Structure 1
């Protein structure tokens, strides 16, 4: 119950901590390099006759 008591007494601190975590998460997500659709390379078949 100590966490609940701290969070009710220090509302501004908890709000600033939450905003900092959200800001850090959004910055990290924007810098993350993920391809949603990878490059597609189709296999080719070459037939040579002589």
Structure 2
């Protein structure tokens, strides 16, 4: 059985990351979240119609 965790290469930590949240990251995240909501709503509606 596979198991384990995530570790930074070279023994660093997540605090060493100097990047930030950019506009494109926010837009991409909002687009993915809204598409997921629409897909879930559509799946629920069509499953309710079939049954």
- Which structure features the higher share of helix residues? 2
Using the size of structure 2 for normalisation, the TM-score is 0.48
TM-score (normalizing by structure 1) = 0.49
Greater length-normalized contact order (CA 8 Å, ≥ 6 residues apart): 1
Rg larger in structure: 1
